Chains A and B, each alone.
Chain A
Amino acid sequence: MMTSLKKGLRSGIVFGIVFIFLMLIGFINVGSNMIGDLLGNMENLGEEARLPVSNLLIFSGLFGLFTGINARKDEGDGKWWSGILGGLAGGLASGWLVWLAVWGSGSLYMQGVDFRTYLPNLGPERMRYLLFYSTPEAAANTYLTYFILFSLAGSVLAWAVSAVHGLKRGLTRAKESVTQWLDTKTVRQIFDNKWVLAVVMITVAALLYFLPLAWGSYWNYIMGTVAIYILLGLGLNIIVGYSGQLVLGYVAFFATGAYTFALLTSPAPHGIELNLVLAVGLSVLVSTLTGLLLGLPILNLRGDYLAIVTLGFGEIIRILIRSDLLTPLTNGPKGVTNVGQPNWFGQVFSDVNYMHLLMLLVLAGLFVAKRLKDSRTGRAWIAIREDQTVAQATGINTYGYKILALLLGAAFAGLGGALFASRNQFTGPEDFTLMVSVNVLCIVIVGGMGSLPGVVVGAFVLKGLPELLRELADYRLLAFGALLVLMMIIRPEGLWPAKRTRFRRLNRDPYENGAAEVEV
C-alpha cells in the first residue's frame, strides 16, 4: 500500500511539474490546438479563431490519465484498491501543483501582469484560454477536479489492462515467439529461397519506383534530404562505426564534394560547366584526397585528440571557403548559384527522377558498405575499434586501415555533397556548419554504431521526423529533443543495433542449429 502511495505521489509530482512547464512555455495551447485540428471543432468568432474549452479539458484529462497509469505501472499482482489509492494520490499531487500554478499565475494576470516579458509565449489570449475564460479560482478548481478524476480513471484503466493480460509480459513473450519462429528451419528456408527473395525484391523495387510518383514534390524534397543524409551516414559509419575513429569534422568532406561539383558545373565564377558524371567523379576524388591530406598527419592520434583536431578541420574548411583570400575561387559568402542539374538526353531531371537516382545511389552505398563490413577489411576495422594495440599485434597495419576508412568515408561524403549541391542548385558556406557533422554523427549513434539498417532508420528519424513534426511549429525542436532523449533511454544501444554476422560451418546442413545446443 505504501509503495503504491509513494509511486502515485511521485508520478503525480512529475506529471504536475511537466504540465506546469508546458503551460509556461505555451505548449498547452498548442496541444489543445492540435486536438482541435483533430476533432475539427474550431469555432469562428469574428477575427480570430477561438478554441472550445473542451479541447483543453481533453488535454488535461490525458495528463491525468497518464498520471494514473504511471502510478499503477508494473504492479500486476497488487490489490485492486491499492492501485486506485495510487491513482488518487497521483491525481491529488499533480492536481494541487497545477491548482497552485494556475491560481497564482491567474491572479497575477488578473492584476494586469504581462507574462510576455519573461515568457514570450504566454500572451493574454493564451492566458485567458488557460483560465477557461473565467476566474482563477474557478479554473484552478476545475483543473484539480479533472486531474483527480482522470488519474483515478487512468489507474482503473491500467488495472483493467493488467488484469486482462499481463500486457508487458505478454508483449515480450509475443516478441520472443516471433523471433523463435523466424529462426526455425522452415521459415529460414522460405526466406533463403531464391523465388521468395525475388518476389520480395521486386515488390520493394516497385514500391521504391512508385512512391516518388505518388508523394509529390514536397515529400520528394524531404526524402531527398533523408537519402543524402543516409549516404553521409554510411560514410561516417565506416569511420566511426567500423573503425572507431571519432571524426567530428565530417562536414569538411561534404563541403569539398559540394563545392567541387558546384564550381565545375556552374557558369559562374569559372564557367567550366563540365560533364556532370565527370564532375561527380571529380568531386568524390577531391573529397577522398582531402581525406588523405587530413588523415596522413593526424590518424596517429587517438580518441579525444582526434575528435578535437578533426573538429577544427571542419571549421577551417568552411572559413576558408568564405575567406577573402579564396573568394575569387569560391565566390566567398555569396555561394555558388546555378549549379549543374542532371539531365537525361537534354531533358532536365524532375524531382521524381532525382529521387530515383538518389534511391539507386543509396542502395549502391548500402551494398558497398555491407560487403566491406563482412570482409577481411571490415573485420580489421572492427578489430581496431575494439582494441587498437592488439589489432596491430595481430598483424593489422592499423594506420593504413584507419586511413582507408577515412578515405572511403570521405568518398561517400563527396558523393553526398555533389548531389546536395546539384539538387539545391546552390551551395554556400553556411550549408556546411558544425551542425552537419553533429547531425550525421547523431544518425550513426541513434541508429546504432556500425549498423547499416541503423543508419537508414537514424536518417529517417533525425532528418525525416522533424519535417513530420512541422505541425508543432515553434515546439518542433522541443518535441524532437524529448523524442531523442526518450529513445536513448529506451534503446541506449541504438534504434537498430548492429548484429554480429553468424557463420555456418561449411559442408553441413546450413539450417542445422549447431550452436544453439551447446551450453555456455
Chain B
Amino acid sequence: MRIREEAVCVAIVVRMERRGYKTHREFPILGKVADVYAVHPRTGVTVSVECKERDWGRGVLQARVYQGASDYVYMALPRKQPSARVLQTLEERGIGLILVDEQGRTRQVLDARRASHFTPVLHQRAKQNFEAMKCALP
C-alpha cells in the first residue's frame, strides 16, 4: 500500500508533539523548506525532518542544509526496512532515519548527530523565525 508524503509528515508531527515538541510544517531554513521543524520548549533542542515518499537522494541534500541550523535532522521514509545504501548514506552524514508504516506508526532506526557544519548563529535565527511564525498564526 502506498504511503503518501503527506501521511508521512502527519505521522512525524504526531510523533514530535507526543514527545513534547512544538512543530511547524513547511518551515523555511537557509533557502530550503523543511517539511517539519520542531522545537522543544523546555530544552530548546531543535529537530528538522525531511519527509520523502521517494527520491531520498534529493532529500539528503536538503537535510544537509537543515543541519546548519538544527540540532538534529532526520529523514522520514514510508518503508518497513531501509536499504543498506540509504542507511550508509545517512549514517555518514549524521542524518537520522524514521520509518513510517501504513498505520502512521513511526520507528526511529538511525540516530541523528549534530553536524560539523552546525552554526549557532543560524540555529538561533531559525528558532527566532519559529517563534515569529507561531505568533503570526491566527
A binds B: no
Which residues of B are in contact with A by a Cβ distance under 8 Å? Answer: none
A residues lining the B interface (CB < 8 Å): none
